[in-house]
Structure 1
């Protein structure tokens, strides 16, 4: 029975896919500006893969917990990298204002 496994993949899979692609493009040689189009494109492919793979969990609870854990880990890494000033700001405007 599918239950809400697909819902976990749909709701938690998109932010996880975006975080994973962001982690991937941060360390490209040209910087994140050169890989943002590829990252956005791949995030949708990865999202569909996460939705599909979420159906393989034994229970809906396991799907929800694993995807929440993945999101917490990925966004924790992104937050840590940003807090260490190792990641450039998202826009030139935020670099000027210091936000």
Structure 2
């Protein structure tokens, strides 16, 4: 009985830690120091130019993460603060 309980506990812990890692998003966009980054407002402007209605933005790791809505769907857009290139997109 103890073995079964231990296995169930181990599977539960591994399952939760794996799902948390997937939920984090994209984090590696540049190795440049933050002092050299372009303004976050420029990443928002790029998202708007691409047709997204920008809701908010934040720094995620070394990326600008912009939350936007397009055609009724929510997206997370990850821009490099170095050159404002789009590195990754997640549809929610």
Q: TM-score, normalised by structure 2?
A: 0.28
Whose strand fraction is larger, Structure 1's or Structure 2's?
A: 2
Higher RCO structure, 1 or 2 (CA under 8 Å, sep 6+) = 1
Which structure has the larger Rg?
2
What TM-score do the two structures reach when normalised by structure 1? 0.27
